[in-house]
Amino acid sequence: MNRSIGCGPLGGLVFGAIFAIIGYVVAFYFGKPILDDAKASRSWPSVSGVIERSEVVTSTSNGKTMYGFDVVYRYQVEGRDLTSNNVFFGGNTTSSISSFAHNVVARYPKGANVKVFYDPNEPSKAVLEPGTTWQSYLVFGIGLAFLIVGVLVFISSVFYVAIAGLIIGSAVAGWIGSSARRSQVADRFNLDGAPAGPQAPADRRTETTPSSDDGIDIG
């Protein structure tokens, strides 16, 4: 792993948490609504519309030419004039393959009459090709991949941190136990190595009391 990323278990915790959070946001705040709309659009009502603009657009990314399509259509719902550029859900992206963008523009030339499917609860949300495609899953899939990678990195880092904690804890406990044993040994022995047991009693001097019978008293 790159040294800027792989900075040990603690770095893995941070890296994993960030990846998981980004993945969750991308998947469930951006990707899932696209996928839900794509699935729901199968049952949306439709009205007639007209293509106002249809062209291939190009851009440059990392020195490579990218191709996209810009298709705008107009339609009316309950007397309201509305416009949208959504051909199919998840499809308004660029690609290095030009044929994809050209095919979309060819299907919807400027001035063509089209059937527009719209959300009855939010008529400004519309699409020309209802239902799901692989593009509908793209953003959700990318976010989910980030989330899974982040969770795996986080869990593995927690495991390594726990192992490191056990090793350090065992080493500290061993050091404390060793210090306690040395302290007990030091209490039993003096600095010269002699037992530090009960002190020998002090020398006692025997005092002799002069006897009164220095001689024989012959009465």
Instruction: Provide the Cα torsion 160, 165, 171, 177; round to 10°.
Output: -150
Give the pLDDT score at 154. 82
Return the closest-CA partner of residue 1 out of 149, 164, 165.
149
pLDDT digits (tens, 9 = 90+) for 150-160: 888 888 877 66
pLDDT at 169 over 70: no
Strand order in the sheet with 113-119: 80-84, 64-77, 46-61, 113-119, 122-127
Of 45, 41, 54, 47, whose CA–CA distance to 90 is shortest? 41
CA pair distance 116, 129, nearest whole angstrom: 8
Q: What is the pLDDT of residues 94-112, one digit of tens each?
A: 888 889 999 999 999 999 9
CA distance 150 to 145: 8
What pLDDT band is residue 60 in, cutting at 50, 70 and 90? Answer: confident
How much is the pLDDT for 218?
A: 45
Determine the pLDDT at residue 153. Answer: 86
Amino acid 158: pLDDT: 75
Q: Any idea what DSSP says for residue 31?
A: I
φ/ψ (deg, to 5) at 135: -65, -25
In Å, what is the CA distance from 86 to each residue of 41, 99, 140, 182? 12, 19, 18, 79
Question: For residue 44, is pLDDT > 80?
Answer: yes
Predicted pLDDT at 174: 61
The per-residue DSSP string of 153-191 comes to: HHHHHHHHHHHHHHHHHHHHHHHHHHHHHHHHHHHHB-T
Paired tokens of 66? 């990218």
Cα of 20 vs its chain's centroid, Å = 3
Q: What is the mean pLDDT of residues 198-218?
A: 51
User: Residue 180: pLDDT band by 50, 70, 90 thresholds?
Assistant: low
Residue 144: its H or E element: helix 138-188
pLDDT exceeds 70 at position 177: no
Distance of alpha carbon 130 from alpha carbon 136, whole angstroms: 11
**Residue 96: per-residue pLDDT:** 84
d(CA 142, CA 139): 5
